Amino acid sequence: MLKHKGVKAGIFMIVFYQIVMLTVFMSGYSAIPKNVTNLTVAIVNEDKQSGNEFVQKLQEQLPFNVVTNETLEQAKTGLEDRDIHMVIRIPGDFTEKLSEQSGKAELEYLINESNPTTITSSMKSVATEITAQIGAQVQAQSFEAVLNGMQVPAEQSKQIVKSTTGKVSSNIVLSNPQPAGMQNQMAPMFITMALYVGAMIYAMQSVGGMQQLRGQMGKWKAFFALRGTNLLISLIAPLVGIGIYFLVQGYGVEVFLKMWLVHSLQLFVSIEFTSIFIMLLGQGGMLINMVFVLSQSIANGTSMSPEMMPGYFKFVSQITPMFYSTHLDYNILFGGGKTAHYAIGLALVGVGAFVLNAAIHHFKNAKQTEPVQESSQQPAMV
């Protein structure tokens, strides 16, 4: 029984999927929380009295890439574009409020929720921790000297510092909030993933059909006829998945149309991308497609940002459709910047895949037809 060809193939696939899946997931998710330190935090200092000392203290304590030369507007733009993952704003009256007996100083934290949940939850925790540390440590260590420098008597300075314990509060400002429910947070990934897997299976069937039609229609007519069919399917098929999601979580007509257009483009690009390996290797190309679909479950950017990804996954995110599609979904459903960047990136992946498919179709068929032509000419020569 074990010598049967089908059984051997089945055993191979069981082993193959285990190796690929565990290797991808173990190597990919090892970045959490190890690579959280690659995230960027911007500190905007508006306090002219002791803000610089405070910024220096934060730079020493924060385990992130800290940016301090941004204006508030620049930092907000970076936050919207997901280049900055949290903005810490020190108000201009921060030291003044600390020095007042009844005053209360407030630190402002700006967080973009249109991001992977690992980022938003990490940044909220960091904001709470920073405020607690400032209240317990920085005031006593730094502001006493600052108050002395402001010619406040030493005894009065100590009393003021003591009274400021617990006077630092946090104001967390969330932009682009996501609707409640895990289904909304995961929607960009699963809508894109469902269409990508469908495209992968469809590509295997459609490429085989094209090879059969080639003899009837001609090499390039069959090639472009398949692309026309792919385009039609890409316009119709996404309506099913998007329709199911919108029935559960209502959005307006405008959002629905944008999602439909994005995923029509994504499906067409996904068909072209997955067709590359089928065109090149036949059914064996599905093994490579499986590696890419598993890799994109991490590289699509819904579990971690590109800054956190190991090098392989960062590379995969740039050359495959899912990263661009999920981020377009983030922007449409929740909000965010760089929409044109993601749309152009998705289109370029499609153009690249189309060119590769055309090249494979040309050269592979040329190789296959040469022996046929020679064999057909041989009897005439004899």
Look at residue 249 in the predicted model and tell me its pLDDT.
79
Task: Supply the pLDDT for residue 368.
Answer: 44
Residue 262: Cβ within 10 Å count: 24
- Largest Cα–Cα distance in the chain? 115
Alpha carbon distance 331, 211 (integer Å)? 40
pLDDT score, position 226: 93
Q: Are the CB atoms for 72 and 107 separated by under 8 Å?
A: no
Rounded to a whole number of angstroms, the CA Rg of the chain reads 28
pTM of the predicted model as reported, rounded to 2 decimal places: 0.84
d(CA 11, CA 23): 18
Helix (H, G, I), strand (E, B) or coil at 302: coil
User: In angstroms, rounded to a whole number, what is the distance separating the alpha carbons of residues 372 and 34?
Assistant: 57
Q: What is the pLDDT of residue 39?
A: 95
pLDDT at 76: 96
Predicted local distance difference test score (pLDDT) of residue 152: 57
pLDDT score for 381: 31
Separation in Å, CA 160 to CA 32, 49, 152, 165: 42, 16, 10, 9
- Rounded Cα distance, 97 and 86, in Å: 24
Q: Please enumerate in sequence order all residues whose Cβ is within 8 A of that of 367, keeping only pairs 6 or more positions apart, or say none.
A: none
Q: Which residues of the chain have pLDDT under 70?
A: 1-4, 6, 101, 136-166, 365-382
Looking at residue 147, what is its pLDDT?
52
Span between the terminal Cα atoms of the chain, in Å: 49
Tell me, what's the pLDDT at 54? 83
The predicted-structure confidence for 274-327, as pLDDT tens digits, reads as follows 999 999 998 889 999 999 999 999 999 999 999 999 999 999 999 999 999 999
- Among residues 192, 152, 146, which one has the least CA distance to residue 301? 192
User: How confident is the model at residue 109, as a pLDDT?
Assistant: 96
